[in-house]
Structure 1
Amino acid sequence: MTKKLENDFVENLDQTRSISSKFVVVDKYIKKSLNGRYYISLVFSDRTGRINGRMFPKKNAENILESIDVGGVCRLEGNVNEFPQGSGNFNVIVNNIVGLSEGEYDLDDFVVASQRDKDELVGEVRQLIKSVENQDLKKLLRSFFCDKDFAEKFYTAPAARFHHHNYLSGLLEHTVEVLKISMTLCELFPELDSDMLYTGVMLHDIGKIQTYKYDLTHIEFSEKGMLLDHIFISSDMVKEKIKALEIPEEISDKLLHMILSHHGDVSNGWGSTIDPKTPEAVALHYADNVDARVKDILQNGVKR
């Protein structure tokens, strides 16, 4: 085993060795092994990524679990372990974990945010809204993005708890990326209603500003997010604005259909309440899925 390194980051935990490092506790569970022994399953993170951990206390596993603060920064000592052997998947066998107070760590080591220029991304949103020719759709987009409170939340929110774009301003980054993919689709298929597609892109995930609660180091589901999910919340937010603005039904039905079907066929089990049936709904689904899947692998590595 190689020499223990102090204060190393997740991105470097790719070989068997001992560590003493600081991480945010993202999640914690009690689990039972095949031999009947209880252990603690943990998820840790820093600004470079996430890693799973396991702790095998000789007794009082539940008391130890209770003492671990989800969302708090801790110092852990343990051994980096490849499991299964040869898989390239590393986790940490935790020997000791101690919660830290402010002043005992540098917050910049743990804040995960989009690496894209935020002002540039916001500029893309504003340019898109300006380019929309359908006045009803433009009015709808402005009712959201010209609202200072909504815009601030949208530009800061993560796009997920796990998987893709799960960091501050991840929702903004994801939306602009889906928009770019959709623009290419409109070049390939000029028959698409670009105003309708781009509006669907901009609004399909807006419910995520209510789906998650988060701070600088931790993302978790809000109670509303757990009960309703972002697809319903997004649709409900848009429907409320549509009613207030008196958007024509032939426009509102197509737009709400895009939002409700953007996770693809109902049979996928990904949350859509109806299969995508219009060209714009199909385009949104695949643009959204491509961005999410590619980003997930870029962030978290090849699935094994």
Structure 2
Amino acid sequence: MSMELRRETFVLQKLRQSTSRFGQPYTVCELHDSAGQVWPAYAWQRFPHPTLWPDGVEVLATVQERSFGTRQVLDVLAMDLAALSDSVQGKTQPQLPFPEWLVSQATQPRLLRELWVQITLMDDPWLCHFNQRILHDPDISLRWVTIPASRTHHHAEASGLLRHSLEAFRLLSKSPQMSLLEWDIARTALLWHDVGKILTYPGGTRRAAEGFLVPHETATAEVLAWHLAWLRQRAPDLVTALKLHWYPPRHGRPLMPGQIFVEACDRVSAALDSRQQAFQEEPAWRQIGTVEGPGPASRFWRLREG
């Protein structure tokens, strides 16, 4: 038995919260090391993240081995996401592996794989890595790939937010007047323009009070704060550019035309899905369709076929 602290990479399994007989919260999990050994592991505190990380997440943990009856177990003193550790962040050309653990959480895994390919093809390495980091962050991505985009309006099914974000992303074609960097900025802004909704749907499908009272756009930078801080240390102008795409300028017209693309692609994606709902159960001859709320009903007109 070694009483020394060690820090190494494990694959996390069976993470859960528990409570001692004295009422103190603690965390239990299994840690699979690189040699294939499975360690029962305990952290003597409540899990410090809002989301319990799923099976398969790779973690970088500081642990201490001890005896527990006839078994050897690990006490966990610190546990971080291995993909977002300092050793990875320092790369000049940052690339992260595909988060396989996230696929099992999404009801439409094909969309997630398509999105990952599109991200890896981005020209700017920092924006590529910024997007990959967010998908590797369970506190954001687990909810982002599972919640609806709205309660009743558009993309209202499970994983609707993922589908809406990818559909809008596809719509943003590169204009000849845009540089590759401007295109990457606009697509990144579009991809995460609704990420604040993970705070408005904390339980999955039921909207919290914040979702009714506060525009979800105000939460974008709050949700992405850790990753924006990481990006600011490396390319501060990219953070400014993203915020210019998310929030209206103080004076007059947008300072970057990409903001107009972001707004337009968001609205077109929502309108196409709402129109499909409006006519889903209507006879072919009907030309007017309606989708109710929130707010005023959305009405659509269509041409007659033939």
What does the per-residue CA deviation read over 1:101-133, in whole Å, with 9 as the maximum and x for residues that have no partner?
xxxxxxxxxxxxxxx971210012211221122
Q: Is the 8 A contact 2:196 2:223 kept in 1?
A: yes
| Match for residue 205 of structure 1 among 183, 186, 194 | 194
Tell me how far apart the structure 1 counterparts of residues 129 and 109 of structure 2 sit (CA, whole Å).
Answer: 23
Distance 1:146 1:296, change over 3 A: same
What does the per-residue CA deviation read over 1:39-91, in whole Å, with 9 as the maximum and x for residues that have no partner?
xxxxxxxxxxxxxxxxxxxxxxxxxxxxxxxxxxxxxxxxxxxxxxxxxxxxx
Tell me how far apart the structure 1 counterparts of residues 197 and 138 of structure 2 sit (CA, whole Å).
Answer: 17
- Is 1:119 matched up with 2:109? yes
Deviation at 1:247, TM superposition (A): 4.2
Tell me how far apart the structure 1 counterparts of residues 107 and 210 of structure 2 sit (CA, whole Å).
Answer: 30
Tell me how far apart the structure 2 counterparts of residues 160 and 178 of structure 1 sit (CA, whole Å).
Answer: 15
Partner of 1:281: 259
When the two chains are superposed, the root-mean-square deviation of aligned CA atoms in Å is 2.8
Look up the SS of the partner of 1:127 in the other structure. Answer: helix
- 5+ residue gaps, structure 1: 1-115, 267-272
Look up the SS of the partner of 1:121 in the other structure. Answer: helix
Tell me how far apart the structure 1 counterparts of residues 208 and 107 of structure 2 sit (CA, whole Å).
Answer: 27
Tell me how far apart the structure 2 counterparts of residues 286 and 123 of structure 1 sit (CA, whole Å).
Answer: 25
Q: Matched residue pairs, number?
A: 175
- 5+ residue gaps, structure 2: 1-105, 280-288, 290-298, 301-306
TM-score, with structure 2 as normaliser: 0.51
More helix by share: 1
Q: Is the 8 A contact 1:157 1:168 kept in 2?
A: yes
Q: Which consecutive segments of 4 or more residues in structure 1 shift more than 6 A? A: none
Look up the SS of the partner of 1:220 in the other structure. Answer: coil
| Match for residue 152 of structure 1 among 142, 147, 160 | 142
Deviation at 1:220, TM superposition (A): 3.3
Tell me how far apart the structure 2 counterparts of residues 171 and 274 of structure 1 sit (CA, whole Å).
Answer: 30
Tell me how far apart the structure 2 counterparts of residues 117 and 156 of structure 1 sit (CA, whole Å).
Answer: 7
Identity %: 23
- 1:87-236 map, 5 Å: 118-182=108-172, 185-186=173-174, 190-191=178-179, 193-214=182-203, 219-236=205-222
- Is 1:257 matched up with 2:247? no
Partner of 1:238: 224
Bigger drift between 149-158 and 244-253 goes to 244-253
Tell me how far apart the structure 1 counterparts of residues 224 and 256 of structure 2 sit (CA, whole Å).
Answer: 19
